[in-house]
């Protein structure tokens, strides 16, 4: 009887998939963030519901969502520069504490009946400013906790965590809003920042991988932009993420309209099931990437091609059930694309530039939302939801071909550089 190796055994698969959780500092980060992210998704649902309660306007709802990303769109690289200049853990202490205070203040605004649309615009803008600094620090902090060898695994597990929060948070928000009112979701979210901040405080400084910071000088944002532009692989990946982020990652626009207009759903339940299917696929896809992924541009190109093809299939599904089934692998490919891009950028950028590189990644992925969401909505308005999803499919597939070309060109240059002159 052949002996089963550790690689193929259930224990070996488990230990490889969750390898980064063997690092104490990352384990504290993971647990604290799972609680915090669930709270953030609670607040996101409550904020959207509150806008509809206050004004009933879908335009106002779109503006409230867009304002959370406008600061990143306008000055995203500056947030990365702050991450490069300072200890990442120190930045997160500040941003997470302020986000908790903002959530508490938001709850008080609702409880005291001062939740007008101007106040909600202000809350969204302040949240966007905090995310401008929090996101690049959080992204680049991962390698500092686990080291370069486990970065890809940690990034994948982090993506699983975020999508788990997306599954958990809205459900808790629905219960809390129905039982205690909208303000409760803001108060609960404020409380969820405490475990994350406590986890940061309990981390052992001596266990961190040493990372260099930079001193304050003029032109450092421009230097970061030049660095990415001068590195073809980094430039190609960020361009690819920007294209997919703008035209494809608009599920909060495409799916509710797909459910309502295409499948004639009279309640939000079908939309909820669609989002759950995407979230389930994302969790499964993240676990697969955590186990198998070594981030390369070839892998990223392959995932983009698969995602483009699957979105095209979703857009043509004749029934709701078939569309929902197709959304599970779509969610898996979606998270695989963004996780592979994240891991690649972190492992192929220098320590001194990593914060600025990850801020450009955040700009490409999240900062394009104020552009992509209204554009997708306009396309659907003048055509139908199938066309809106198909547009994302075509752009994603073309992006895959572009990344394939980037990967091949890089391999050709590597081979050329290794050929000795005659």
Region of poorest pLDDT, from 2-11, 118-127, 244-253: 2-11
pLDDT (tens digit per residue) in 221-253: 788 889 998 999 999 999 999 999 999 988 877
So what's the pLDDT on residue 11?
Answer: 57
Question: Which among 74, 93, 50, 291 is positioned nearest to 185, based on CA atoms?
Answer: 50
C-alpha–C-alpha distance, residues 160 and 144, integer Å: 19
| More confident call, 192 vs 9 | 192
Average pLDDT on 300-320 reads 96
Q: Which residue has the higher pLDDT, 377 or 57?
A: 377
Q: Which CATH number fits domain 219-422: 2.70.180.20, 1.10.630.10, 3.50.50.60, 1.20.1250.20?
A: 1.20.1250.20
pLDDT 10s digits, 23-55: 999 999 999 988 888 888 788 878 877 877 888
Question: CATH number of 18-203: 1.20.1730.10, 1.20.1250.20, 3.20.20.140, 3.40.50.300?
Answer: 1.20.1250.20
User: Do residues 128 and 70 touch, judged by C-beta distance below 8 A?
Assistant: yes
Total Cβ atoms within 10 A of residue 53: 12
pLDDT for position 413: 56
In the predicted model, what is the mean pLDDT of the chain? 84
Mean pLDDT (whole number) for 317-339:
92
The domain segmentation of the chain, as residue ranges, is 18-203, 219-422
Residue 343 has pLDDT above 80, yes or no: yes
Q: Which residues contact 200 (CB under 8 A, 6 or more apart)?
A: 28, 29, 32, 89, 92, 93, 96
* Residue range 338-357: mean pLDDT, rounded: 85
DSSP H helices in 1-116: 10-17, 24-54, 58-67, 70-85, 88-111
Q: Answer yes or no: pTM beyond 0.85.
A: no
- Percent of the chain at pLDDT above 90? 35
């Amino acid at each position: 009887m052949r002996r089963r190796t550790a690689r193929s055994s259930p224990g070996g698969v488990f230990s490889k998939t969750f390898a980064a959780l063997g690092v104490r500092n990352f384990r504290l980060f993971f647990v604290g963030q799972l609680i915090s992210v669930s709270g953030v998704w609670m607040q996101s649902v409550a904020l959207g519901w509150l806008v509809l309660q206050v004004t009933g306007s879908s335009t106002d709802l779109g503006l409230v969502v867009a304002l959370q990303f406008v600061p990143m769109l306008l000055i995203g690289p500056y947030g990365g520069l702050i991450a490069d200049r300072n200890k990442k853990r120190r930045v997160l202490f500040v941003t997470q504490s302020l986000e908790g205070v903002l959530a508490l203040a938001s709850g008080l605004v609702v409880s005291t009946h001062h939740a007008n649309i101007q106040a909600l615009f202000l809350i969204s803008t302040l949240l966007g400013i905090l995310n401008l600094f929090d996101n690049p620090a959080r992204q680049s902090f991962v390698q500092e906790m686990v080291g370069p060898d486990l970065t890809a695994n940690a990034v994948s597990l982090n993506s699983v965590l975020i999508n788990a929060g997306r599954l958990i948070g809205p459900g808790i928000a629905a219960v809390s809003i129905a039982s205690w009112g909208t303000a409760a979701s803001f108060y609960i979210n404020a409380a969820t920042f405490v475990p994350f901040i406590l986890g940061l405080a309990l981390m052992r400084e001596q266990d961190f991988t040493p990372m260099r910071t930079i001193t304050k000088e003029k032109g450092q944002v421009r230097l970061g932009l030049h660095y990415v532009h001068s590195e073809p692989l980094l430039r190609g990946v960020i361009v690819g993420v920007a294209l997919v982020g703008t035209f494809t990652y608009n599920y909060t626009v495409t799916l509710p309209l797909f459910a309502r207009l295409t499948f004639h759903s009279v309640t939000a339940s079908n939309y909820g099931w669609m989002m759950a299917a995407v979230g389930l696929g994302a969790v499964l896809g993240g676990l697969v990437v955590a186990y198998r992924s070594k981030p390369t541009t070839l892998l990223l190109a392959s995932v983009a091609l698969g995602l483009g093809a699957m979105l095209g299939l979703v857009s043509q599904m004749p029934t709701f059930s078939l569309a929902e089934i197709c959304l599970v692998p779509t969610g898996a490919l979606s998270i695989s694309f963004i996780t592979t891009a994240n891991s690649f950028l972190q492992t192929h950028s220098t320590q001194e530039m990593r914060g600025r590189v990850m801020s450009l990644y955040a700009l490409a992925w999240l900062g394009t939302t104020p552009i992509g969401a209204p554009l997708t909505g306009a396309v659907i308005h003048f055509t139908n939801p199938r066309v809106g999803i198909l547009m994302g499919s075509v752009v994603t597939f073309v992006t895959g071909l572009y990344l394939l070309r980037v990967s091949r060109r890089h391999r050709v240059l590597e081979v050329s550089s290794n050929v000795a002159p005659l």
